[in-house]
Amino acid sequence: MGFKLAIIFFALLIASSIQRASAQSFKAQQLKYSRVKNALAEKEALIKEMFRRKKLPYPPTKIFIRIFKRERIVEVWAGRSRESQLEMLKAYNFCATSGSLGPKRRMGDGQIPEGFYYIDRFNPVSNFHLSLGVNYPNQSDRTLGVKGRLGGDIFIHGDCVTIGCVPITDDGIKELYLIAVEARSSGRSRIPVHIFPSRFDRNGMKQLESYSLNNETLRNFWMNLKEGYDFFERHRRLPTITVDQRGRYIVRG
C-alpha cells in the first residue's frame, strides 16, 4: 500500500510541475510578441501598484471579468486566493458598442452576447491591438440560437470600433490583457466572463422590464441570467454554472 501511495504522490508531483512549466511557458510565449512586450514595459509598474493598493497578491491567481452592456462597463475582479471572495480591481468603459440589449442568436446580428463564458483565446497580433477571445457560442447559445448560423469571434479588444465585440481602447486592453496573461500563467486555465444586459439592480430591472414588456422569452432569459448575477452579489464568489437540455443556465453554489 505504501509503495502505491508513493507512486500516486510522485505522479501528482510530476503533473503539478508540468502544469507550472506550461503556465510559465505561456507568459514567455506571449512576451515574444512586440505588442505584449511593449505593453509590459509600459504598464507593469502601474498594474502592480493597482494590486498593491487593493492589497491583492500579484501575479493574480484568480480573476473574473464582468460586463454590463447598458452601462458599457467591463469590471475586473481579483481574489487573494482561489477560495477567497473576489474584490473589484478596476472598471473599463466601452468606447463603442453595437446591437441592442438581448443575447446574440445568429451570425450578423451585431449583438454582443449575453450569458456565462470564459476567455478561450489570447491574440497578441489582433487587428485591434490586443484581444481576448470569449467562447461564444457556448452550449446555451447553440441550443437557443439559429442552428448553423451562430457566428463567432467575439473579443474584448483595443481600438474603438466593433460589431458584436467589446472595445476598451488600446490603453485599456494593454492592462487587461497583461492581467489575464499573468492569471493564465499562474495556472488559471479558464478566466470566467459574465456578460449581462444591465445591472440587475432596481434601476436596471426597471429598464429591462420596460424593454422586454412584450417579449416573454427575453424576459425569462434575463431572469435566468439574474440568478448568476444575484449569487455573485450575495457571496462575492462565482457559482458553478451548467446548461440544461433547454439551454437554460443552472446556477449552483
pLDDT per position as a tens digit, 72-82: 999 999 998 87
Catalytic residue among 95, 129, 160, 165: 165
Q: Is 233 within the bounds of a domain? A: no
Can you give the three-state secondary structure of 64-131, one letter per residue?
EEEEECCCCEEEEEEECCCCCCEEEEEEEECCCCCCCCCCCCCCCCCCCCCEEEEEEEEEEEECCEEE
- Mean pLDDT, residues 212-232: 97
Does the annotation mark 235 as catalytic?
no
Residue 150 pLDDT more than 90? yes
Helices and strands (H and E) in the chain: how many: 6, 10
pLDDT per position as a tens digit, 161-178: 999 999 999 999 999 999
- Mean pLDDT, residues 47-69: 96
Q: Which three cell numbers stand for residue 101?
A: 440589449
Q: Is 210 within the bounds of a domain? A: no
Per the structure, the complete domain to which residue 119 belongs is given by 23-198
Q: Is 239 within the bounds of a domain? A: no
Catalytic residue among 157, 160, 194, 235: 157
Between the alpha carbon of residue 130 and those of residues 86, 179, 182, the distances in Å are: 25, 13, 15
Top-confidence residue, 104 or 61: 104
Question: Quick check: 148 and 203 in contact, CB under 8 A?
Answer: no
How many alpha carbons fall within 13 Å on the CB side of residue 42?
A: 15
Number of domains present in the structure of the chain: 1
Residue 1 pLDDT more than 90? no
Confidence of residue 7 (pLDDT cuts 50, 70, 90): very low
Does the annotation mark 160 as catalytic?
no
pTM metric for this prediction:
0.90
CATH number at residue 106: 2.40.440.10
Q: Is 189 within the bounds of a domain? A: yes
Give the separation between CA 100 and CA 111, rounded to whole angstroms: 6
- Mean pLDDT, residues 188-203: 95
